[in-house]
Amino acid sequence: MEELTSKDARFKQRRFLSYGHQLIDDSDIEAVVKVLKSDMITQGPCVGEFEQNLSSYCRANYAVVFSSGTAAFHAAYFVANIKKGDEIITSPITFLSTANAALFLSARPVFADIEEDTGNINPGFIKKAITKKTKAIVPVHYAGHPVHLERISELVQEHNLLVIEDACHALGAEYKNEKVGSCRYSDMTVFSFHPVKSITTGEGGAVLTNNKEYYKKLIMFRQHGMTKNKADFKEFSSGDWYHEMQILGYNYRLTDIQCALGISQLKKLDEFIQRRREIVEIYKDAFKENEFFDLLVEKNYARSSWHLYPIRLKDRFKDKKREIFTKLREEGLGVQVHYIPVYWQPYYRQLGYEKGICPKAEDFYRKDISIPLYPSMDNEDVAYVIEKIFEVFQEA
Ligand SMILES: *Cc1c(COP(=O)(O)O)cnc(C)c1O
C-alpha cells in the first residue's frame, strides 16, 4: 500500500515524457521578443541571417528557409523539375510529406524497401526500383542516422538521377565526418524545424544546395514565383515598383519571429546532439543483450543525431505491441510509432498501392516503438524510462 502511494506520487510529479520535445530557454525567448518589438516581424534581417548560419553550419553554398519541411519538399521537387509522369524513389518508413510532395506535382512516389538494422532505405532495393521514369532518389536519414550516401551517389551516376536528402531527422548528424546538409553527395537536402526535430522554429523547414540555379528558383517559389532582382527580369523594368512573376509559386515564407528563434536554437544544436548521444549511451548500456527487443545500430560511416530512439520488438512480442504500447503510455511514457508504411494509408491504397510491396518495412513497422529521447531529459527521467520499460516487458 505504502509502495503504491509513493509510486503514485512519483508519477504525478513526473511530467509526461514524450518521444520528443523542444528545449526553449530564456535566450530563445529574448531573441523572439526582440523581433516582436522591432519594425519587421517578417522578411526582415533574421531570415537571411538564419539562412547564412544554416549554410555555414552544414558547409553548403546556399540555404533557403520555408514555412515547413513539407513546403521545403514541395519547393525542392519543383525546382528539380519533378512533374507528371516522373517517379521519385523513397522509403516507406518516413513521414507522409516525403512522398506527398511528389503527388503535389502529379509525380509518382515509388517505395523501395529498407535495411532493418538502421531503418534506412536499402541501396540494393533502390537499384531494383529504378525505371526510365525515375527522376530522383529521396533517401530519408531515419532517426537521424545518415544513409550510405556514397553508395547512393554511385547508383545515380550510372542512371543520371538527382538525389534529394530527407534530412528532417538529421540536422547535426554527420556522414563520414561531414555534416549532413553539405550536399557533397546530393543535389539538395531538406530539413524540418518542427518542435520534435533537432532545433525548432515552431513550424519551419529549409532546403540546402550548392546549385545556384536551384537556389534562385527556391527563393522565387517561396514567394509567389516572383522576383524583384533586376538582373533576372525577363522584361524591361518600368520603375522601382516593378517585380516579375515568372513561375507559379506559393507563400511559403518563414517569419523573422521564427528565424530569430532558429538563429538562437542553432547556436545550441551541438549541445542538443551531445545530450541526445549521452542519453543513447545510457540506453545502450541498460538495454544491451536484453531478451525483449533489439536496438538500432550506428554504422562506422555515421554519427547519428538521434532524433528518435526506436526499439524493435523481438518476434515473440510482435503480437503484443498494442498491449505493450498502451501500458507504456499508462506509465507516462509518450511512446510513438515511426512509421506506418506510407503506402498503407487509405489515400495511397486508393491510388493503387498494395500492401506487401516492402515486406521488410512492414515487418519493421510491426516491431517498432519510439521511446522518449530529447535533450532536456535528465538522468532521472532516463532511469525512469528504463525502469518502466523493463517492468512492462516483464509483465507482457
Ligand atoms: C518532420 C518530417 C517531415 C516534414 O516536416 P514538417 O516540417 O513537419 O512539414 C518530412 N519528413 C520527415 C522524415 C519528417 O520527420
| Structural contact between residues 134 and 87, judged by C-beta atoms closer than 8 angstroms | yes
- From the CA of 205, how far away is ligand 1's center (Å)? 8
Q: Is the CB of 201 under 6 A from ligand 1?
A: no
Q: Is the CB of 98 under 6 A from ligand 1?
A: yes
Atom number, ligand 1, closest to the C-alpha of residue 205 = 7
Atom number, ligand 1, closest to the C-alpha of residue 72 = 9
Q: Is the CB of 94 under 6 A from ligand 1?
A: yes
Q: Are strands 205-209 and 62-66 parallel, antiparallel or unpaired?
A: antiparallel
Q: Is the CB of 57 under 6 A from ligand 1?
A: no
Nearest CA to ligand 1 atom 5: 69
Q: Which residues contact 146 (CB under 8 A, 6 or more apart)?
A: 170, 173, 174, 175, 180, 301, 302, 303, 304
| Tens digits of residue pLDDT in 121-179 | 999 999 999 999 999 999 999 999 999 999 999 999 889 899 999 999 999 999 999 99
| Tens digits of residue pLDDT in 175-184 | 999 999 999 9
Residue 200 has a pLDDT of 98
CA distance linking residue 148 with residue 159, whole number of Å? 18
Long-range pairs of 385-390 with CB within 8 A, sequence gap ≥ 24: 385/17, 385/333, 386/282, 386/283, 386/286, 386/287, 388/328, 388/331, 388/332, 388/333, 389/287, 389/311, 389/328, 389/333
Nearest CA to ligand 1 atom 4: 69
Q: Which residues contact 375 (CB under 8 A, 6 or more apart)?
A: 23, 271, 272, 275, 276
Nearest CA to ligand 1 atom 11: 95
- From the CA of 40, how far away is ligand 1's center (Å)? 28
Q: Is the CB of 253 under 6 A from ligand 1?
A: no
Nearest CA to ligand 1 atom 7: 69
Q: Is the CB of 258 under 6 A from ligand 1?
A: no
How many CA atoms lie within 13 Å of 369's alpha carbon, on the beta-carbon side? 25
CA distance linking residue 186 with residue 80, whole number of Å? 12
| Structural contact between residues 324 and 393, judged by C-beta atoms closer than 8 angstroms | yes
Residue 1 has a pLDDT of 42
pTM for the structure as a whole: 0.95
Q: Is the CB of 72 under 6 A from ligand 1?
A: no
Q: Is the CB of 119 under 6 A from ligand 1?
A: no
Atom number, ligand 1, closest to the C-alpha of residue 68 = 7
Q: Is the CB of 99 under 6 A from ligand 1?
A: no
- Grid cell for residue 343: 503506402
Residue 6 has a pLDDT of 54
How many CA atoms lie within 13 Å of 217's alpha carbon, on the beta-carbon side? 17
Q: Which residues contact 283 (CB under 8 A, 6 or more apart)?
A: 295, 309, 371, 373, 382, 386
- From the CA of 263, how far away is ligand 1's center (Å)? 20
- From the CA of 381, how far away is ligand 1's center (Å)? 26
| Structural contact between residues 201 and 76, judged by C-beta atoms closer than 8 angstroms | no
The pLDDT profile of the chain, 396 residues, written as one tens digit per residue, is 445 455 555 554 556 899 999 999 999 999 999 999 999 999 999 999 999 999 999 999 999 999 999 999 999 999 999 999 999 999 999 999 999 999 999 999 999 999 999 999 999 999 999 999 999 999 999 999 999 999 999 999 889 899 999 999 999 999 999 999 999 999 999 999 999 999 999 999 999 999 999 999 999 999 999 999 999 999 998 899 999 999 999 999 999 999 999 999 999 999 999 999 999 999 999 999 999 999 999 999 999 999 999 999 999 998 999 999 999 999 999 999 999 999 999 999 999 999 999 999 999 999 999 999 999 999 999 999 999 999 999 999
Instruction: Sketch out the chain's domains with CATH numbers.
Output: 6-20+270-395 (3.90.1150.10), 26-266 (3.40.640.10)
CA distance linking residue 187 with residue 154, whole number of Å? 14
Cα dist from 103 to 84, 241, 339, whole Å: 9, 36, 19
- Which of 194, 250, 258 for mutating ligand 1's site (highest number of atoms within 8 Å of CB)? 194
* Closest C-alpha among 186, 109, 111 to residue 147: 186
CA distance linking residue 274 with residue 8, whole number of Å? 32
Atom number, ligand 1, closest to the C-alpha of residue 140 = 13
Q: Is the CB of 171 under 6 A from ligand 1?
A: no
- From the CA of 244, how far away is ligand 1's center (Å)? 31
